[in-house]
Amino acid sequence: MSTPTDHGFDTKLIHAGAAPDPATGARNTPIYQTTAYVFKDADHAARLFNLEEVGYIYSRLTNPTVAVLAERIATLEGGAGAVCCSSGHAAQIMALFPLMGPGTNVVASTRAYGGTLTQFSQTIKRFGWSATFVDFDDLEAVEAAIDDNTRAVFCESIANPGGYITDLDAISAISDKAGVPLIVDNTTATPYLCNPIEHGATLVVHSTTKYLTGNGTVTGGCVVDSGKFDWSASDKFPSLSQPEPAYHGLNFHAALGGMAFTFHSIAIGLRDLGMTMNPQAAHYTLMGVETLSLRMDRHVENATKLATWLENDPRVDSVSYAGLESSAYHHRMARICPKGASGLFTVAVKGGYDACVKLVDGLELFSHVANLGDSRSLIIHPASTTHRQLPEDQLEAAGAGKGVVRISVGIEDIKDLIADMDQALAKATA
Ligand SMILES: Cc1ncc(COP(=O)(O)O)c(C=O)c1O
């Protein structure tokens, strides 16, 4: 990576991966709105296609604007390389793609975004892959679920929607022992609050749609590779450790070492799955990411104040936010995400389902949307929306039972958020 590693996090947020445009001097990263790039000559073209030289061929594979964002996120996560994708869901498929084959499985946490639970329990079956879901607080169950066909372990650092914190050190010790990579979805925490690679993650995935962009403008995703996993230590990952027939027999690990996963993801993943981020989306995310630390501090501050206020309100049964001392996950904060537990939590309202729906309808400043990580405060009732496809036991395990709403606290004035919540709770529980 060309970015100095001794820069502080806030400096990296603004500068990592970027330099004034060599052609024009443009200080901000231009939006390279082009599909293809002129080769210098036939030999140059051949070297690019052979991965003997790094450069631009076609924007389904790489684009200079998107490349700046990929390097920025890789730097923030402390990874060797990264590949940006069209959405967070695309990033999850892209992370699994080089690892999996028909008959293999991923061991995944029951506490995850509802869309992920459905993607893993239903859609990946079409590829001949499967998922085994386990409670990641039960370390023996995680270890027992890994079998000879397991190719990855998957969890969220801070899980959506319940804000549960995963013990990444304990989980990575188990995946290391089994010789399989740990993939951590760091969407809710962001690299400002949590560094999964420091806790043993092999790959980190993001929905850049959320806090990294931070203003609800574009969808995007990213897969960061730590560069630390030894793909050749077993015969489990032939796409990376053996001649790859999909790329004229190239052995990615032998040829590219710690960048094998990233190059495989670009040269084969993006080439054939086409889940590419467009340069406009990369531009919006580059603008957003510059203020990540400032925003996350305010998200955490507002979430802590609102969650505390709600917890003490008689119209509320309980609040699930690891930032509260009452949370069973609070003790993990100091080790996994010392700067805070993000801006996402669930609230069980007295009156159950009916009260939840009335609360959502009664709010005026909070927006009722299927998104999180926006500068605006957002609310949703997961059981009837984002987690709707799940059976009751999966809903409860994910922390998305029928009687809870999920709140993504924005960066507005906290007094206005509390006032809005107060009036809506009055209507919901009248
Ligand atoms: C934790 C988490 N991971 C992944 C995703 C999927 O991201 P996207 O909507 O960008 O595909 C989401 C979406 O809500 C999410 O909350």
Task: Report how far ligand 1's centroid is from the alpha carbon of 52 (Å).
Answer: 35
pLDDT one-digit tens code per residue, 327-349: 999 999 999 999 999 999 999 99
- Asked whether 78 lines ligand 1 (CB < 6 A), one says no
pLDDT value for 1:
43
pLDDT value for 4:
67
Task: Classify residue 1: in a domain, yes or no.
Answer: no
DSSP classification of residue 339: T
Full domain range(s) for residue 226: 9-288
- The helix or strand, by DSSP H or E, that contains position 319, with its residue range, turns out to be strand 316-320
Domain count, the chain: 2
HSE value, Cβ hemisphere, 13 Å, CA-based, for 154: 28
Verify that 243 and 159 share a domain, yes or no. Answer: yes
Report residues of the chain scoring pLDDT below 50. 1
- What are the two backbone dihedrals, phi and then psi, of residue 415, each rounded to the nearest 5 degrees? -65, -35
pLDDT value for 2:
55
- Asked whether 154 lines ligand 1 (CB < 6 A), one says no
Verify that 85 and 120 share a domain, yes or no. Answer: yes
pLDDT value for 358:
95
Task: List the end-to-end C-alpha distance of the chain, in Å, as a whole number.
Answer: 58
Task: Classify residue 4: in a domain, yes or no.
Answer: no
Which CATH number goes with the domain that contains 363? 3.90.1150.10
**Exposed/middle/buried for residue 393 (C-beta within 10 Å: 0-12, 13-18, 19+):** exposed
Task: Classify residue 2: in a domain, yes or no.
Answer: no
* Residue of 113, 277, 284, 386 with the most ligand 1 atoms within 8 Å of its CB, for mutation: 113
Verify that 259 and 324 share a domain, yes or no. Answer: no
Q: Helices 352-362 and 414-428 meet at what angle, rounded to 10?
A: 130
Q: Which of 70, 107, 123 is nearest to 282 (CA)?
A: 70
Helical H segments across 78-134, by residue range: 88-96, 114-121
Of 232, 263, 288, the residue at which a domain comes to its end is 288
- What are the two backbone dihedrals, phi and then psi, of residue 108, each rounded to the nearest 5 degrees? -125, 155
pLDDT value for 372:
97
Task: Report how far ligand 1's centroid is from the alpha carbon of 249 (Å).
Answer: 34
pLDDT value for 398:
80
Structure token pair of residue 88: 């967070």
Q: 203 - beta bridge partners?
A: 183, 225
What's the predicted TM-score (pTM) here?
0.97
Verify that 95 and 123 share a domain, yes or no. Answer: yes
Verify that 327 and 195 share a domain, yes or no. Answer: no
Verify that 279 and 387 share a domain, yes or no. Answer: no
* Residue of 73, 210, 212, 389 with the most ligand 1 atoms within 8 Å of its CB, for mutation: 210
- The helix or strand, by DSSP H or E, that contains position 405, with its residue range, turns out to be strand 404-408
Q: Cα separation of 312 and 64, whole Å? A: 50
Rounded to the nearest 5 degrees, what angle is found at the Cα of 32, between the Cα atoms of 29 and 37?
130
